[in-house]
Chain A
Amino acid sequence: MIHKYSMNGLFIVLDVNSGAVHVVDEVVYDVLGCYKELSREETARLFGEKYKPTDIYEAWEEIEQLENRGLLFSEDIYSDIVPVLNKRDPVVKALCLHIAHDCNLKCRYCFAEEGEYHGKRELMSAEVGKKAIDFLISASGKRKNLEIDFFGGEPLMNFDAVKEIVEYARSLEKENGKNFRFTITTNGILLNDDIMDFINKNMHNVVLSIDGRKEVNDRMRPRAGGQGSYDTIVPKFIKLAESRNQTDYYVRGTFTRYNKDFSKDVLHLADLGFRQISVEPVVASESEDYAIAEADLPEIFEEYESLAREMIKRKKEGRDFNFFHFMIDLTGGPCVTKRLVGCGSGTEYLAVTPSGDLFPCHQFAGREEFKMGSVYTGIEKPEIRSAFENCNVYSKPACTRCWARFYCSGGCAANSFNSHGDLISPYEIGCEMQKKRLECALMLKACENAE
């Protein structure tokens, strides 16, 4: 299977099963369209008015060479990996700690329902957090690198517990042969110098929530009294990003139907000096006025493309920045095993609520039917883990036909559940945006390569 497309004057071909990426000329691009259906001579006749036969034959020969080397039309040889994977002892390697089911913002699109996650306002005690660390160490088998994300609600509303949990985990690293990587996601309202100092000393990554332009941010991210949050958080975020030398952080925003021109928000964040930027489509029920609808896709696609073109321009001017959804590592990215199973929600990655209950991921937290156990008892419902374990690109019929399957790994289980009520039917609007972003990412790589 191949995927070919044209963008920004380039003709790009992805060989899906090998991951090989080719930049081709128009002759090859056209020939590839009928290479599997027509003979070389029939192809030459078909394009007789457009190309010389010698050009067609040359193109044909080059395609044939790459096919013989497994770089075009290569076979999918990975379906045997999944049964082997599922026979392994289950391991948990990452926890999302819901350190505060409470928030000092009232973001309209919040999937956590302004921090409460279908439940009551609650802070995680340090005791529950420490128990989560114990659970992770014992459930992680031989895995060395373990991850803890402090998430909310707003984690800074319970920062003393964060500090105590970090200290506790660090104290156990050596004797257990583990390496903890901490991350924290914050809206920035309570950030101060002491907190920044602690974050810089202890957090592998920090995610700073801001949507972009002041009017866009303040429309969806108001404070409890209705006033905007932009003016409070921007100076703090700039200071924190600078203090981390503009690495190992993201300013992270959400775009909705109200700012389909989100490339302006990305560029606004870049103009503020941020170099690590992520602005992502809202996850929302289609009944919400701010949800992204299928009809919005052409406009959103154009936004992604125009953002990619602007990034090329800025890079030439020495003003480059990273856009998370265009980042792709062609030479050192994940193995195919990881690409088959994706994020590991419900298996390697779990969420812990303030009271210590375990859920498949932060987006399922508080949905009682997905409660898997607790940090005190461990996994009590292995059938939920099995359901998530069975999520992979081969268990999702739509994915087996999709060229992007080894890049999104079958997509987000929570998105599937929200849109279809099951774990294996992909959220189509999300898929279309993902494919466009991937095309942009490969185009950016092709441009880099041409320099």
Chain B
Amino acid sequence: MKHIKTLNTRLLQSTVAKGGCGECQTSCQSACKTSCTVANQACENK
């Protein structure tokens, strides 16, 4: 495309079917403890 560049992204719709296994890290255990920071958590069920 000439006007739009789309970044390589795993689309959220594609995660519905196999999502929710719950094996990923609890977000507050990573560093924050005072905020909710979910989007940087790695998926363990790729």
* A interface residues, Cβ below 8 angstroms from B: 17-25, 27-28, 58-59, 62-63, 65-66, 70-71, 74, 77-78, 81, 85, 91, 93-94, 96, 111, 143-145, 147, 149, 151, 181, 183, 185, 205, 207, 250, 252, 254, 278, 280-283, 324-325, 327-339, 342-345, 348-349, 361-363, 406-412, 415, 430, 434, 438, 441, 445-446, 449
Q: What does DSSP make chain A's interface, helix, strand, loop or mixed? A: mixed
A205 in contact with B29 (CB, 8 Å): yes
A412 to B35, CA, bound (A): 5
Measured between beta carbons, the chain A residues less than 8 angstroms from B42 are: 329, 332-334
Q: Which residue of B lies closest to A19 (CB)?
A: B12
A336 in contact with B32 (CB, 8 Å): no
Q: From known contacts A333-B41, A336-B16, A339-B12, infer whether A280 and B23 are also in contact, taking CB-CB under 8 Å.
A: no
- What count of chain B residues pass the 8 Å CB interface test? 44
Q: From known contacts A58-B3, A278-B31, A333-B42, infer whether A338 and B20 are also in contact, taking CB-CB under 8 Å.
A: yes
B29 in contact with A338 (CB, 8 Å): no
B35 in contact with A19 (CB, 8 Å): no
**Which single member of B7, B16, B37, B41 contacts A78 (CB below 8 Å)?**
B16
Interface string of B1-39 (1 = CB under 8 A from A): 111111111111101101111111111111111111111
A58 to B33, CA, bound (A): 47
B26 in contact with A348 (CB, 8 Å): yes
Q: Which residue of B lies closest to A24 (CB)?
A: B4
Instruction: Give the shortest distance, in Å, between A285 (CB) and chain B (any CB).
Output: 14
Measured between beta carbons, the chain A residues less than 8 angstroms from B33 are: 151, 185, 207, 252, 362-363
* B interface residues, Cβ below 8 angstroms from A: 1-13, 15-16, 18-46
Q: What does DSSP make chain B's interface, helix, strand, loop or mixed? A: loop
Q: Which residue of A lies closest to B18 (CB)?
A: A335
**Which single member of A27, A59, A81, A409 contacts B36 (CB below 8 Å)?**
A409
B13 in contact with A332 (CB, 8 Å): no
B43 in contact with A430 (CB, 8 Å): no
Instruction: Give the shortest distance, in Å, between A337 (CB) and chain B (any CB).
Output: 4
Q: Which 5 A-B pairs have the closest CB atoms?
A: A335-B19, A337-B20, A335-B15, A327-B40, A94-B26
Measured between beta carbons, the chain A residues less than 8 angstroms from B26 are: 93-94, 147, 343-344, 348-349
Question: In the complex, which of the residues A19, A81, A252, A324 has the most CB atoms of chain B within 10 Å of its own CB atom?
Answer: A19
Measured between beta carbons, the chain B residues less than 8 angstroms from A328 are: 39-40
A324 in contact with B37 (CB, 8 Å): yes
Instruction: Give the shortest distance, in Å, between A398 (CB) and chain B (any CB).
Output: 14
A145 to B28, CA, bound (A): 15
Instruction: Give the shortest distance, in Å, between B43 (CB) and chain A (any CB).
Output: 6
Measured between beta carbons, the chain A residues less than 8 angstroms from B22 are: 91, 93, 143, 338, 348
